[in-house]
A and B are shown apart, each in its own frame.
Chain A
């Protein structure tokens, strides 16, 4: 399966989505996220935050933000069908629960990798379903950067 990379940036205001991957509306495919990186490049201060990776059941009608184009890790691969988005202004609909929770301080960068095949974060092949990154109770919101590698 071809692998793709996406990354985005947003301010981690409490309970807002910083980015998401969501399946294509007409040709949905399963997405398997196997690598995630979270960090910040603003001046270091002591702030704490939690990041929830939750399932999305529907995209907002007016999502706003920036539509991302997944970059194939192998240039010979075709373009991804997935339609990820960074810093959306219209919140997607969440349902189906949290699949990963990463509590993090502002200073370090954190990377999560799946240890084996089959342990990735998988989204169903249903139109507009996906996984979003939700900020959870930052002490003070700050600009953060996220990146994801996925296959579909």
Chain B
């Protein structure tokens, strides 16, 4: 594969290991998908990001995983801050 996002390696094969497979990362959730000859039947392509995306429902809308994570961090941190404030009352 020309531009993989990860490699699966058998470290005991040969002198410095042997690459078994490549992985590609979903641009919307960050999941790595092992590349096989059937991978392309089960993955999508985001025309906006120009990258592979997985078939999960939440990944059909174009939101980059880092943006999603930032939003999650913001809401979770606020939620926990409020919970702590509520517990101390």
Interface residues of A (CB under 8 A from B): 37, 97-102, 108-116, 119, 121-122, 124-127, 129
Contact = CB atoms under 8 A, between A and B. Distances in A.
A127 to B, nearest CB: 6
Interface of B: 4-12, 17, 20, 22-23, 25, 29-32, 34, 56, 65-66, 69, 72-73, 76-77, 80
Given A99-B31, A99-B32, A111-B17, A119 B25 contact: yes
Chain B interface SS verdict (over half): mixed
A126 B76 contact: yes
A57 to B, nearest CB: 8
Q: Which 7 A-B pairs rank lowest in CB-CB distance, beginning with the nearest?
A: A119-B5, A126-B76, A111-B9, A100-B32, A124-B73, A115-B4, A111-B11
Given A111-B17, A112-B6, A114-B6, A101 B34 contact: yes
B51 to A, nearest CB: 11
29 contacts: A97-B56, A99-B30, A99-B31, A100-B32, A101-B34, A102-B34, A108-B10, A109-B10, A110-B8, A110-B10, A111-B8, A111-B9, A111-B11, A112-B6, A113-B9, A114-B5, A114-B6, A115-B4, A115-B5, A115-B22, A119-B5, A119-B25, A122-B69, A124-B73, A125-B73, A126-B72, A126-B73, A126-B77, A126-B80
